[in-house]
Chains A and B, each alone.
Chain A
């Protein structure tokens, strides 16, 4: 039996997950997202990635970005490192793809804000 705290929302349900006859039984969750998270955490843990990339000519030197969906938890550090090498040019629109298929995860990185030119 594994104890887990759900990270899907700020409620933070304290859950237990148990592997039984090839399936995973989850309890303590207040909503279906908790069960989904617990099963994912036991089989293939994933996390959203948020970081910044350099932007040239914008009102600020950095552009915040995020993965358009979760990436494998073990890949977060490598992806952040890879993204630190990227430099984009202003203007950028929120939602613009900044990096495709980052570190072969199959996940794209998108801008989480717009950046106007200085």
Chain B
């Protein structure tokens, strides 16, 4: 089979990219689950769509908006189909209900999202009983499958999914003993600390971690301890908590096995592909968007940057590339993460044909009254004030591209406003 654009993944990133690409080209979405929507389908809480729709929607409602547009658009959707291989020539091998499918595409959009960090990835000691779940698995069990993971719960990690699950488990009748966070600050958005923990009187223990899992067949309890500044458990602070379930909300990792297979260069800090301002990766014609590039806090941002990926994948596939559509790579401007910046996406500017460039960044340290400073070859060209910057909350800054003209390097710093 041959087509113009193949979008891998039918979550929010894939849906937005496919819709944009379909304005220029024929599009196929490949989705491994039995329906489109991705993780939004299990995020039954509200809080989605604030920026794009100016109202609070639940995950399924946000997904529905895009799914219904896809249904009207003529985009071909292959569900229950997993991509097994892609190569640098944009050949795709997938397995689905009708067996193995081979597809040749002119452009690919990677929209596989991310996976949860597991017990093995954080080297959690102890026995291996039933009752240890990642927060997303627990969420799927409770909200879609109709199964309660346990009765007395300890949550390790205070990322947003963990906080949302603390509330959800409580409402469904479980007892959440507490949320334990190894860092001295919470991992999730402040509003989720308020409406998920404070509203239900669930304690949050910062600078604490789980040091042991106890139980043979089923979790019987966990040991928790306070940690020092270098995150090592402090002797004498260890205590046992009786529980039947441990839920892990210990971070997300972009899912890039396919990207690596295609020979795409991966940024070690974001764990996602390096992308330029069109969301094109290091392999020509392969684009990436959403959580496969870097983990976002807010789905609206995923939609916005995925529309860019879809737009340029569509233009690329429709054969207008390099000939008056401004897709030539005229530049190779590096975007440098400067002072107090962990990473910036996009990492490169290669086209300089867009009116506005939006940079997404994460800071290393919390700062009050901060200034996001963009400079070109040492000269400050743009500044944006931020009342507060925190590592768990992504910072977004949009700059008129004309300000960056002629630069050979763009640097982003986050400074204190007074000093």
Contacts and interface: CB of A to CB of B under 8 A. Distances in A.
Contacts of A52: 44, 142-143, 146
Nearest to A30: B387
B298 A64 contact: no
A96 interface: no
A73 B199 contact: yes
Contacts of A6: 191
B144 interface: yes
B42 to A, nearest CB: 9
Given A50-B46, A62-B143, A80-B171, A94 B61 contact: yes
A62 B195 contact: no
Contacts of B72: none
Interface residues of B, number: 34
B64 A64 contact: no
A91 B189 CA distance: 36
Interface string B183-197: 000000111011100
Contacts of A62: 143-146
B191 A47 contact: no
Contacts of B298: 10
B60 interface: yes
Contacts of B46: 48, 50, 66
B144 A60 contact: yes
B190 A12 contact: yes
Nearest to B299: A10
A75 interface: no
Contact of A10 (B35, B60, B172, B297): B297
Contacts of B56: 8-9, 48
A7 B44 contact: no
B64 A50 contact: no
Contacts of B400: none
B44 A61 contact: no
Contacts of A10: 47, 50, 189, 191, 297-298, 393
Contact of A113 (B61, B146, B297): B61
A54 B146 CA distance: 8
A54 B191 CA distance: 29
B34 interface: yes
A114 B194 contact: no
A86 interface: no
A59 interface: yes
B190 A5 contact: yes
Nearest to B42: A64
A113 B58 CA distance: 9
B45 interface: yes
B60 A64 contact: yes
B41 interface: yes
Interface string B279-307: 00000000000000000011000000000
B145 A61 contact: yes
A61 B297 contact: no
Interface in B194-220: 194-195, 199
Interface string A57-70: 00111101010000
Contacts of A7: 191, 194-195
Given A10-B191, A60-B144, A64-B58, A113 B41 contact: yes
A84 B298 CA distance: 29
Contact of B58 (A14, A50, A61): A50
Nearest to A55: B146
A66 B393 CA distance: 27
Nearest to A52: B143
Nearest to B37: A113
Contacts of A51: 44, 171-172
Interface of A: 5-10, 12, 14, 30, 47-48, 50-52, 54, 59-62, 64, 66, 73, 76-77, 80, 84, 94, 112-114
11 contacts: A10-B393, A14-B190, A50-B44, A51-B172, A52-B146, A64-B44, A66-B58, A76-B171, A94-B61, A112-B44, A113-B61
Given A10-B298, A64-B143, A66-B44, 15 more contacts: A5-B190, A5-B193, A9-B50, A10-B189, A12-B189, A12-B393, A50-B58, A52-B44, A62-B143, A62-B145, A66-B46, A77-B171, A80-B172, A94-B61, A113-B60
